[in-house]
């Protein structure tokens, strides 16, 4: 892909809001550090560095091709001296910072879900709109692919991931049909085959708007890339690294991601004490301040310009005081437990 094509391919969602939330607390700070945990093609990251001319940015991405293109984009924009690329999954957050001698950070940003590169490169198999091999790996060096999941998981596990990660009402009959198909015809290998199978199973009267297979594709993508587990491991790592006044800004694109983010942020937005306690001790006071009043959503004009923004939920919090010891221990234990 030619670097000159990036601006037309990658349309950052809610870009102005993201820039305001990520860089709004950086004024007056000396060489503040921003971590973009989902660098993609650097659409957000370049905007952050332009808005914060003294900041440096660490960009993490597990997709080697995206990382290469983003690095070239930074070079072409004249921002390379303030940019550090990291090839890793975002749940390797602590290791990525430790290896580069970075302690505290001033802002962390996550744009969850697929990048435009992954969607638009049809051979990656992420989109149900194009016939392609059933791959769906964000990191093509990993062994687990969508094709392997469909070929090797039993009916029970397939039904579980379709129901849990895709919120698919017909998870069980779809899983049953996949197992029957591979027994009779061999493994499913292309998105067109999976589309046709789901189309045949889901009753027309109960189909969601758009392609009836979209929830199955979503569930497979989450399973292949371990997205929700990685998100749950990453959020406490970020909180433990934030300086006072540091910000966590997250864009989610489906309800399970948003639920995970909302639940995590809520821990620091309310007092860690019984509701009837007359005086809340300092140790139990909230340590996050909400910056978005719930979630920011795309308006009609943004959705018309970029249909992928229709489901976005943008949430942000600021660390208003050092993490209380109790919260710190809880986050450290969560990181350790999730890693195990």
State residue 165's pLDDT score: 92
CATH code where residue 249 lies: 3.40.50.150
Same domain for 15 and 151, yes or no, is no
Q: Are residues 17 and 154 in the same domain?
A: no
Return all residues near 126 (Cβ < 8 A) that are at least 6 apart: 114, 118, 119, 135, 136, 217, 221
Residue 7's pLDDT is 52
State which of 198, 222, 246 marks the end of a domain.
222
Q: What is the pLDDT of residue 278?
A: 74
Domain around 187: 121-222
The per-residue pLDDT for range 145-184, each reduced to its tens digit, is 999 999 999 999 999 999 999 999 999 999 999 999 999 9
Q: Do 231 and 335 lie in a common domain?
A: yes
The predicted-structure confidence for 222-259, as pLDDT tens digits, reads as follows: 999 888 999 999 999 999 999 999 999 999 988 889 99
User: How many beta carbons lie within 10 A of that of residue 290, not counting itself?
Assistant: 15
Last residue of a domain, one of 157, 187, 222: 222
List residues forming the annotated binding site for S-adenosyl-L-methionine. Answer: 42-44, 61, 90, 111, 118
Contact (CB, 8 A) for 299 and 284: no
112 and 146 in a single domain? The answer is no
Residues 102 and 232 in one domain: yes
Domain final position from 182, 201, 222: 222
244 and 308 in a common domain:
yes
CATH number for the domain harbouring residue 168: 1.10.150.170
In this structure, the answer to whether residues 157 and 277 fall within a common structural domain is no
pLDDT (0 to 100) of residue 123: 53
Predicted confidence at residue 339, as pLDDT, reads 56
One domain, residues 59 and 72: yes
Contact 62, 38 (CB under 8 A): no
Beta-carbon contacts of 35 under 8 Å, excluding residues fewer than 6 positions away, are 57, 58, 59, 60, 93, 97, 105, 107, 108, 109, 238
Number of domains into which the chain is organized: 2
Q: Is the same domain home to 100 and 143?
A: no
Do 331 and 240 lie in a common domain? yes
Residues 104 and 141 in one domain: no
Which residues in the chain come in under a pLDDT of 50? 1, 3-4
CA quadruple 218, 220, 221, 222: dihedral sign: positive
Both tokens assigned to 84: 């550090």
Is residue 188 within 8 Å of residue 151, measured between CB atoms?
Answer: yes
Task: Please check whether residues 91 and 239 belong to one and the same domain.
Answer: yes
Q: What pLDDT score was predicted for residue 115? A: 54
Query: How high is the pLDDT of residue 298?
Result: 93
Return the residue matching tokens 């949430």. Answer: 315
Instruction: Report yes or no: 295 and 315 within 8 Å, Cβ to Cβ.
Output: yes
Q: Rounded distance, CA 35 to CA 15, Å?
A: 16
Distance CA 328, CA 334 (A): 10
Which stretch of DSSP H or E encloses residue 222?
Answer: helix 214-225
* Binding-site annotation: residue ranges: 42-44, 61, 90, 111, 118
């Amino acid at each position: 892909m030619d670097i000159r094509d990036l601006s037309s391919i990658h349309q950052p969602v809610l870009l102005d809001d993201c820039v305001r939330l990520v860089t709004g607390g950086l004024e007056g700070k000396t060489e503040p550090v921003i971590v973009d945990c989902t660098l993609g093609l650097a659409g957000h990251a370049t905007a952050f560095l332009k808005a914060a001319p003294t900041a440096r940015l660490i960009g993490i991405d597990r997709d080697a091709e995206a990382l290469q293109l983003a690095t070239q984009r930074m070079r072409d924009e004249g921002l390379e001296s303030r940019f550090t690329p990291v090839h890793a999954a975002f749940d390797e957050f602590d290791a990525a910072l430790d290896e580069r001698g970075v302690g505290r950070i001033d802002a962390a940003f996550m744009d969850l879900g697929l990048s435009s590169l992954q969607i638009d490169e049809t051979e990656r198999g992420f989109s149900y709109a194009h016939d392609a091999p059933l791959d769906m790996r964000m990191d093509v060096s990993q062994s687990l692919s969508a094709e392997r999941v469909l070929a090797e998981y039993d009916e029970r596990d397939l039904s579980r991931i379709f129901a849990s990660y895709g919120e698919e009402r017909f998870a069980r009959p779809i899983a049953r049909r996949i197992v029957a198909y591979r027994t009779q015809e061999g493994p499913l290998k292309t998105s067109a085959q999976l589309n046709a199978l789901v189309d045949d199973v889901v009753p027309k009267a109960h189909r969601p708007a758009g392609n009836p297979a979209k929830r199955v594709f979503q569930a497979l993508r989450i399973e292949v890339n371990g997205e929700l587990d990685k998100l749950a491991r990453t959020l406490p790592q970020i909180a433990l690294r934030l300086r006072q006044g540091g910000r966590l800004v997250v864009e989610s694109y489906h309800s399970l991601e948003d639920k995970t983010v909302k639940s995590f942020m809520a821990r620091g937005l309310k007092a860690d004490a019984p509701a009837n306690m007359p005086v809340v001790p300092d140790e139990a006071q909230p340590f996050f301040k909400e910056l978005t009043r719930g979630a920011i959503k795309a308006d009609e004009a943004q959705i018309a310009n970029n249909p992928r923004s229709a489901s976005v939920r943008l949430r942000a919090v600021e660390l208003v005081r050092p993490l209380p010891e109790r919260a710190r221990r809880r986050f450290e234990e969560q990181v350790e437990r999730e890693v195990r």
